Amino acid sequence: MEVTMSFDILWFAFHILIFPGLLFIVVMGVLLMGINNKMVARMQNRVGPPILQPWYDFLKCCGKETIIPRRAQKFVFIGAPILGFAVLITAALFIPFGGSSVLSSTGDIVVILYLLTFCSVMSIVGAAASGSPYAGVGLSREMVAMIAYELPFVLVLLAVGKLAGSDSAQGVTFSLATITEWQTAHLPVICHISMIPAAIAMLFVIPCEIGMHPFDIAEAETELCEGTLTEYSGAPLGVYKLTHCVKVYVMTALFTALFMGGITTGMVVVDVLIKILVCLVVTFLSMTLPHAVCARFKVEQVFKFYWTFVSALALISLVLVWIGL
């Protein structure tokens, strides 16, 4: 009995720390970000940085001095990036990858939405604690971006939950495990014509949630000197950069689970490789392509774009699913 309990504890610790936990999440985030940067460079006829450049940047930041502004709230200023990173890792543990998720509940979609929002709020809190006027402008833009993409994001989640929960007594589900099982029994969500607009909307939500060009209005290096990160340096800046990479994995893996979660071969290794390939394709469509061909949106353009075009796409899918088409 004690041996079995010890083995269960070690197995759970392996899932939390190694696969599909902390180590796997960080490695995937760094690789996806590095590959994205490399593909953007190639599309613009540049050599581009090494694929592991995000990891090199993190190590470089960790080796530099942390300078805290005189007017900053020290505890909040240092704690915000650490808490944001921890919350994002927790959100990633709810997403099934290569079989099952580490954490699960009947409403894990709601939990993931809350944790992603909390992570963005931490960047706002850190910027406010710095006392910098540039960071103040950046945090106001971050709030506008959050208000812009949250509406279509919620509509997409509702559409997927309504479709996957159509066979249940409640008529809707917010469990990723249930959504994955439904896709295994039927077809992947993306194969349903009524859900194609929601999939397109989700592809638009991903870069704004991550803060990638052309929707990086909060940082906007050419305008705001890094925006919310203006006063950060050293290890806290490195943690923010690493959080940025991890969010790439979280959003692409979430898209895979929501729209292509039913793809399985019965072999864990093959399933993981397929999911990684899908994440790469999603990264290219949602981040690389817009970055390479689009100029940065203005603040008011981002708000208008997401509350009209992107929200309309998600709402179309929700209405079609609701009436049973």
For 152-193, the pLDDT digits (tens) are 999 999 999 999 998 887 889 999 989 998 998 888 999 999
**What is the structure's pLDDT at 225?**
66
pTM attached to this predicted model: 0.95
Q: Is the pLDDT of residue 296 over 80?
A: yes
Angstrom distance (rounded) from CA 22 to CA 101: 13
Between the CA of residue 179 and those of 70, 127, 159, 198, what are the distances in Å?
A: 50, 37, 11, 15
Summarize the confidence of residues 189-218 as an average pLDDT: 94
pLDDT in tens, 63-116: 999 999 988 999 999 999 999 999 999 999 999 887 667 888 888 999 999 999
Phi then psi for residue 208, to 5 deg, are -75, -35
Q: Is the pLDDT of residue 118 over 70?
A: yes
Summarize the confidence of residues 236-265 as an average pLDDT: 93
Write down the mean pLDDT value for the chain: 91
**What is the structure's pLDDT at 266?**
77
**What is the structure's pLDDT at 3?**
66
Summarize the confidence of residues 147-151 as an average pLDDT: 94
Percent residues over pLDDT 90 in the chain: 68
Angstrom distance (rounded) from CA 33 to CA 56: 12
Summarize the confidence of residues 188-199 as an average pLDDT: 94
Which of 218, 98, 96, 208 shows the shortest CA–CA distance to 156? 208
User: CA quadruple 153, 285, 244, 138: dihedral positive or negative?
Assistant: negative
DSSP 249-300: HHHHHHHHHHHHTT---S-HHHHHHHHHHHHHHHHIIIIIHHHHH-PPPPHH
CB 178 within 8 Å of CB 109: no
**What is the structure's pLDDT at 114?**
95
**What is the structure's pLDDT at 157?**
96
pLDDT-based confidence at residue 2 (cuts at 50, 70, 90): low
Q: Is the pLDDT of residue 1 over 70?
A: no
DSSP 33-63: HHHHHHHHHHHTT-----TTHHHHHHHHHHT
In the chain, where are the structural domains located?
2-322
pLDDT in tens, 124-141: 999 999 988 888 888 888
Q: What does the DSSP 8-state code read for residue 307?
A: I
Q: Is the pLDDT of residue 224 over 80?
A: no
Q: Is the pLDDT of residue 219 over 80?
A: no
